[in-house]
């Protein structure tokens, strides 16, 4: 009997050592998982899961771009269980978009732990829905994503689940790096969610060898039980856009971008080109086509807040073909920006100059007014109409208390501007030349009910273009139509208002036309 006991102990010892040395062997032989249909079943790893698990054990940082339902959360849970079982004092933290999501991974660890043979099972000192702690000092905890996550504790392993969907993850990673500095590991896994976010940037840098992350791409075709019929059904079940996100590991076709990524990629391939010239001290005024004095242009500008975090930007749009022929994006004083706008607008055939008048925009607008530029865009305070042509003098528009210089972005106008921007790209009815603009559009997303740039990015070029397109389609037609529209809208504000008319035959050039009677307005001009 003693001989048998000794032999059994020797076998257990060898088996224990073998499990401790190889997480793949450990999980294949002793791992149990909760199947949604079959209940508790052995964790029979697929080939791609075995390879992925092996890479966990030899690489400090791993980033995984994956399709849905490949069992990667379960695999990560199994790796965590192996680390806790065979290594003392390991601190593992799971971060996800929601606490319930992180809790699910901890639950997978708890299920596997409960089904280990007694000689492998570490005694617990804490076991609840959000954490599991062993007597050997190793533990795993689940928390929701927030910037201070993991800031105060040294980590052996950080698991970031669905990393592409976590807000403020840049702050989380900045904090986590300090806690991993003693040799801790990181596993960041996610389906794609558009471009420009932390997960996308980190993945791209890992492919280029610019960071420490080992990159692992897991396409849906790696699953041995899936075929093209399965993939086609996903289009029907999820819709093409969501199916592309969940199955294809394609950043371009995924995400919440306002403009479809496939359309943006098409624009990039067909239209983007280097500018004919780059002007200015900073080289940020890009010109693709010189001014053509037989054509009409619109310049639409977004003025920076002046806090150094964003840019002043404008586009030069040829109106008939809706073609981008110039662009500026740079950090510049409002005075210099106003001067630049006037100079460029004058060069491009006295272009209609549209400047957003929110906040600091007034300073740039005032500079344009002080310079005497006579083709500024004015809008009504109640937005019942827009004024679009320069046949009526700025002096008239300044005198009308209902008109303000520039374009006012508001809760009323912003959805209209965004809708017009999306429409133009969807219908492919404009020509874009700028790589800078396309880059901004790739990170211009739906954030709940809002449309805005991803955290850490700017949307100055995007918004100025949207404003320009909305104004063009809403109020700017062919020149003759524009004049007619202008007179109609201006004269219909109230029953007793009219327009100032220029009359070169009289000394009094500007007169108020009210019911056929004319009144001198020298007092107003003076």
pLDDT digits (tens, 9 = 90+) for 131-140: 999 999 999 9
| Residue pLDDT, tens place only, 270-316 | 999 999 999 987 899 999 999 999 999 999 999 986 555 678 999 99
Q: How many helices (H) does the chain have, and how many strands (E)?
A: 18, 24
What is the C-alpha separation between 234 and 253, in angstroms, rounded?
15
Distances (CA, A) of 248 to 52, 327, 497: 18, 35, 61
57 pLDDT above the threshold of 90? no
285: three-class secondary structure by DSSP: strand
Alpha carbons within 13 A on the beta-carbon side of 79? 29
Candidates 364, 459, 355; CA nearest to 407 is 355
| Residue pLDDT, tens place only, 236-272 | 888 777 787 788 887 766 667 888 888 888 898 899 9
247: three-class secondary structure by DSSP: helix
Distances (CA, A) of 503 to 61, 373, 389: 76, 21, 18
The predicted structure's pLDDT at residue 438: 92
492 versus 459: the higher-pLDDT residue is 459
One fold for both 20-247 and 261-493?
Answer: no
| Residue pLDDT, tens place only, 460-479 | 999 999 999 988 887 554 34
* Residues 220 and 191 sit within 8 Å (Cβ to Cβ): no
Alpha carbons within 13 A on the beta-carbon side of 94? 29
Distances (CA, A) of 511 to 218, 396, 459: 74, 10, 43
Q: What is the dihedral of CA 391, 397, 398, 400, to 10 degrees?
A: 150
Strands (E), 412-491: 444-447, 450-453
Which CATH superfamily is 20-247 part of?
P-loop containing nucleotide triphosphate hydrolases (3.40.50.300)
Architecture of domain 261-493: 2-Layer Sandwich (3.30)
Q: Taking the model in full, what pTM does it have?
A: 0.63
Candidates 118, 23, 122; CA nearest to 77 is 23
The predicted structure's pLDDT at residue 389: 44
Tell me 118's DSSP state: T
Q: What is the dihedral of CA 393, 399, 401, 407, to 10 degrees?
A: 30
What is the C-alpha separation between 109 and 157, in angstroms, rounded?
14
Region 3-28: what's the mean pLDDT? 89
Structural domain spans, the chain? 20-247, 261-493, 499-526
| Residue pLDDT, tens place only, 155-203 | 999 999 999 888 778 888 888 888 887 889 999 999 988 777 889 889 9
Give the angle 462-467-471 at the CA atoms, nearest 5°.
150
The predicted structure's pLDDT at residue 2: 58
Candidates 150, 132, 151; CA nearest to 141 is 132
| Residue pLDDT, tens place only, 497-514 | 333 233 333 443 334 444
DSSP alpha helices (H): ranges in 239-360?
A: 240-247, 261-271, 334-347
């Amino acid at each position: 009997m003693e001989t048998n006991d000794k032999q059994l102990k020797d076998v257990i010892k060898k088996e224990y050592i073998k499990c401790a040395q190889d997480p793949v062997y450990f999980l294949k032989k002793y791992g149990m998982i909760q199947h949604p249909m079959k209940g508790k079943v052995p964790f029979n790893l697929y080939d791609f899961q075995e390879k992925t698990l092996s890479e966990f054990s030899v690489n400090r940082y791993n980033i995984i771009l994956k399709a849905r339902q490949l069992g990667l959360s379960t695999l990560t849970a199994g790796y965590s269980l192996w680390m806790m079982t065979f290594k003392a004092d390991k601190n593992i933290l799971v971060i996800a978009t929601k606490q319930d999501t992180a809790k699910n991974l901890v639950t997978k660890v708890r299920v596997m732990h409960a089904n280990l043979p007694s000689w492998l099972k570490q005694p617990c000192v804490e076991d609840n829905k959000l954490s599991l702690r062993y007597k050997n000092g190793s533990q795993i905890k689940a928390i929701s994503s927030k910037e201070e996550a993991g800031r105060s504790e040294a980590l052996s392993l950080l698991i970031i689940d669905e990393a592409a969907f976590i807000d403020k993850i840049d702050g989380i990673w900045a904090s986590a790096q300090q806690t991993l500095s003693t040799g801790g590991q990181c596993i960041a896994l996610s389906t794609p969610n558009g471009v420009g976010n932390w997960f996308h940037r980190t993945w791209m840098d890992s492919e280029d060898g610019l960071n420490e992350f080992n990159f692992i791409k897991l396409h849906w075709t790696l699953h041995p039980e899936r075929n093209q019929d399965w993939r086609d059904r996903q289009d029907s079940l999820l819709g093409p856009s969501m199916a592309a996100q969940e199955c294809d590991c394609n950043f371009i076709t995924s995400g919440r971008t306002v403009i479809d990524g496939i359309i943006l990629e098409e624009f990039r391939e067909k239209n983007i080109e280097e500018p004919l010239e780059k002007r200015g001290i900073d080289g940020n005024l890009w010109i693709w086509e010189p001014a053509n004095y037989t054509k009409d242009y619109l310049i639409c500008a977004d003025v920076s807040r002046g806090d150094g975090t964003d840019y002043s930007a404008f586009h030069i749009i040829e109106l008939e073909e809706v073609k981008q022929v110039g662009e500026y994006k740079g950090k510049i004083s409002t005075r210099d920006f106003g001067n630049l706008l006037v100079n460029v607008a004058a060069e491009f055939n006295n272009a209609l100059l549209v400047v957003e008048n929110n906040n600091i925009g007034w300073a740039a607008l005032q500079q344009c007014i002080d310079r005497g530029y006579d083709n500024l865009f004015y809008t009504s305070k109640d937005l019942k109409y827009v004024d679009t042509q320069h046949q009526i003098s700025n002096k008239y528009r300044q005198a009308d208390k209902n008109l303000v210089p520039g374009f006012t972005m508001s809760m009323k106008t912003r959805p209209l501007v965004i809708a017009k921007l999306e429409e133009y790209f969807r219908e492919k009815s404009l020509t874009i030349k700028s790589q800078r603009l396309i880059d901004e559009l790739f990170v211009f997303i739906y954030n709940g009910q809002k449309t805005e740039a991803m955290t850490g990015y700017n949307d100055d070029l995007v918004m100025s273009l949207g404003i320009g397109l909305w104004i063009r389609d809403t109020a700017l037609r062919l020149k003759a139509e524009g004049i007619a529209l202008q007179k109609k809208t201006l004269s219909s504000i109230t029953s007793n208002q009219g327009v100032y008319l220029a009359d070169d035959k009289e000394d009094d050039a500007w007169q108020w036309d009210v019911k056929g009677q004319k009144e001198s307005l020298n007092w107003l001009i003076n």
